[in-house]
Amino acid sequence: MNDFLEHFSLTGKTAWITGASYGIGFAIAKAFHAAGARIAFNDINQELVDKGKSAYQAEGIDAHGYVCDVTDEDQVQSLVKRIQSEIGSIDILVNNAGIIRRVPMTEMSAEEFRKVIDVDLNAPFICAKAVIPGMIAKGHGKIINICSMMSELGRETVSAYAAAKGGLKMLTRNICSEYGQYNIQCNGIGPGYIATPQTAPLRQTQPDGSRHPFDQFICAKTPAARWGAVEDLMGPAVFLASDASNFVNGHVLYVDGGILAYIGKQP
């Protein structure tokens, strides 16, 4: 690799991607491995971790998988110590684990709202808080928070998710503000609409064989006229995890095919 591309290398780095048995987190972990990083991932139960490990092995990746509920601070603190002892102290954290509940706000229980906030906002706080001391000790660190279009826009039925992802954008900026002095860069990635299990209900073929109305809507709203693929996020994630972005901090990089820039195609 010529000298310049070395800036994008993750060789020798330890990366922890949360909720990465599949979906966006899995793709980001694959990209980090290809760039040279050691991979640690967690998921909420052993079945998912085992599924993830098999998937990583099928890609030739010796990923270290752990059961950990990222909303539980004791579990997170213990996991960070375990990763440090088994693989190495964490250089890169990707707060990827997330849930969504699509319910009209007035029909959503406070408990459901709190659950989304807990996973999508409180957990990134808990995980970042757990890794920052080690990053300070090492003199560098990268934290990438997986934000969303809903960090900028609202839509019907996703009030809790939008509140969480909007808060995650500001948590990203605050970690930058508070820990940038220790050579820690905290940035967000704002994926557009990506074809994963989380969005599968929005792409489901209708009983009459037609495309889901939301599928048609998103393609009309996207200049690229397509849903994103998890592969579209791999390059941006490696950039934000590497030395190539050491002066990029507090930024949310939207990987959305242009949705946020576009008024949408006339019906």
Distance of CA 151 to the CA centre of its chain: 13
CA distances (Å), origin 232, targets 6, 75, 227:
21, 31, 10
Q: Which of residues 29-48 bind ligand NAP (CB under 6 A)?
A: 42-44, 48
Q: Which residues lie closer than 8 Å to 150 by C-beta, 6 or more apart?
A: 158, 161, 162, 165, 166
HSE, side-chain direction, 13 A CA sphere, residue 112 = 15
Closest CB to ligand GCO among residues 177, 198:
198
Element (H, E) at 166: helix 159-179
Distance of CA 78 to the CA centre of its chain: 21
Closest CB to ligand GCO among residues 149, 253:
149
161 an active-site residue?
yes
Closest CB to ligand NAP among residues 12, 154:
154
Q: Which of residues 161-200 bind ligand NAP (CB under 6 A)?
A: 191, 193-194, 196-199
Closest CB to ligand GCO among residues 26, 193:
193
Contacts 24+ apart (CB under 8 A), 260-263: 260/149, 260/152, 260/153, 261/223, 262/221, 262/222, 262/223
Residue 119's binding partner among ligand GCO, ligand NAP, none (Cβ under 5 to 8 angstroms by kind) is ligand NAP
**Contact with ligand NAP (CB under 6 A) among 24, 31, 40, 237:** 24
Residue 99's binding partner among ligand NAP, ligand GCO, none (Cβ under 5 to 8 angstroms by kind) is ligand NAP
One character per residue 181-220, x = contact with ligand GCO (rule: CB under 6 A): ----------xxx----xx--x------------------
**Contact with ligand GCO (CB under 6 A) among 102, 115, 140, 251:** 102
- Bridge partners, 157 (sequence order): none
Buried b (16+ CB within 10 A) or exposed e, 143-163: bbbbbbbbbbeeeeebbbbbb
For residues 16 and 28, the answer to whether their CB atoms sit within 8 Å is no
Closest CB to ligand NAP among residues 12, 201:
201
- Amino acid occupying residue 59: E
Q: Which of residues 4-23 bind ligand NAP (CB under 6 A)?
A: 18-19, 21-23
Q: Which residues bind ligand GCO (CB under 6 A)?
A: 100, 102, 148-150, 155, 158, 161, 191-193, 198-199, 202
Which residues are catalytic, by number?
161
Q: Which residues bind ligand NAP (CB under 6 A)?
A: 18-19, 21-25, 42-44, 48, 69-71, 96-99, 119, 146, 148, 191, 193-194, 196-199
